[in-house]
Amino acid sequence: MTPTTRIDVSAGGDYPVLVGSGLLGHLPELIGPRAAKVLVVHPRALRTTGEAVREDLAAAGYEAVSAEIPDAEEAKHVQVAAFCWQILGRSDFTRSDAIVGVGGGAVTDLAGFVAATWLRGIRFVTIPTTVLGMVDAAIGGKTGINTAEGKNLVGAFHAPAGVLVDTDTLATLPDNELFTGLAEAVKCGFIADERILELIEGTAREALADHSSPVLREIVERSIRVKAEVVSEDFGESGRREILNYGHTLGHAIELTERYQWRHGAAVAAGMMFAAELSALTKNLPEVVVDRHRSVLEHLGLPVGYRGDKWPQLLDAMRRDKKARGSLMRFIVLEAIGRPTVLEGPDTSLLHTAYQEIGVEAPTRTLL
């Protein structure tokens, strides 16, 4: 068994991200000695895993109850949050009690939001079970739910007490979920750590899909270190943390347009391709780097384009994006690999020109 890696985060509080296998035994130390009750939030698809976590906590002496919520983005609705609040209220949860979120990024976003809003904030721990959750959503303290108007428009910054990244949970993850999750690792590669790109480029897709692969583990750890370093410097997203939104402005717009039927990583992949083309137009990003975006994403089977006929809807969605400042749209673009910067208020004609480079006649159906 490979040793457990500890990556410390200092953002909204100090907490560890533990990476390894067989990590459930660490859960009580992260919950802490003050909690008497723990709510385990998990999706329907992880009923067995969620129940195992609840039973372990009960055996450790906690009064553990569970909240089974819808899968994926269907979890991120105010009605689901209200369901969790109802359980907390009926179970008399106090400020010293805790929540554990078990699942992908949508689940940990929802669980964190419930924790942030119950009694103005209680302790919570995330156990991400997808690559997307491990390298991005479960770390950093951004929590939120979706509305009909857009993704993550309602939320709060609320740091977890700890994150357990147990790679054993990836054993049953479908390949398409794994590869779409790696889109966030690709993002980390382009904005901060080129070695991540080299590892992906140098490894066959079949090897990357092996949850016990040392290469996959290194990609996950390197991506976590990128996020940990960035959020530790800027917890409230008032400055540098914005670079983590590379590819996300268009990506979120695609998700909204597709009524969240596209996986987040697939939408972000197309969004990164758009951001690369926009970078070439506005920051003279070399064409070879734009081409590298395409080759890395295609190696993972991820989309590198989106429907050309959807531009008006996408533009409208981007104008309502939470990263906008007043009427000014904001995009993270690249001057070079590892050199992201903010582009504020670009002319819509520039945006349309960049989009034409990735527009296709029909939506790409690979790994959505």
Annotated binding site for Zn(2+): 184, 248, 264
- What are φ and ψ of residue 134, in 5° steps? -65, -40
Which of 26, 37, 54, 184 is catalytic? The answer is: 184
Question: Which residue among the candidates 252, 292, 293, 307 is catalytic per the annotation?
Answer: 252
Q: Is 205 a catalytic residue?
A: no
Q: Mark the binding-site residues for NAD(+), compressed into ranges.
A: 71-76, 105-109, 129-130, 142, 151, 169-172
Catalytic residue among 51, 194, 229, 237: 237
Known active-site residue 284: no
- Choosing from 90, 120, 259, 365, which is the catalytic residue? 120
Among 54, 142, 263, 307, the active-site one is 142
Binding-site residue numbers are: 71-76, 105-109, 129-130, 142, 151, 169-172, 184, 248, 264
- Orientation of helix 287-299 relative to helix 194-201, angle to 10°: 50
- 264 given a catalytic annotation: yes
Question: Does 187 participate in catalysis according to the annotation?
Answer: no
Q: Is 237 a catalytic residue?
A: yes
Set 264, 292, 293, 307: catalytic member: 264
Look up 352 and say whether it is catalytic: no
* DSSP line for 50-106: HHHHHHHHHHTT-EEEEEEE-SGGGG-SHHHHHHHHHHHHHTT--TT-EEEEEESHH
For residue 32, count other CB atoms closer than 10 A to its CB: 13
Q: Which long-range contacts (CB under 8 A, 24 or more apart) does 209-215 make?
A: 209/175, 209/178, 209/179, 211/167, 211/168, 211/170, 211/171, 211/173, 211/178, 212/167, 214/2
**Residue of 248, 263, 292, 307 with catalytic role:** 248
- Provide the strand spans (E) within 158-220: 162-166
Q: For residue 176, give every residue at least 6 positions away whose Cβ sits within 8 Å of its Cβ, in sequence order, or none.
A: 263, 301, 367, 368
**77 catalytic per annotation:** no
Residue among 54, 225, 241, 307 flagged as catalytic: 241
34 catalytic per annotation: no
CA distance 179 to 161: 28
Residue tagged active-site, from 123, 222, 227, 292: 227
Q: Which of 42, 245, 255, 292 is catalytic?
A: 245
Active site residues: 120, 142, 184, 227, 237, 241, 245, 248, 252, 264
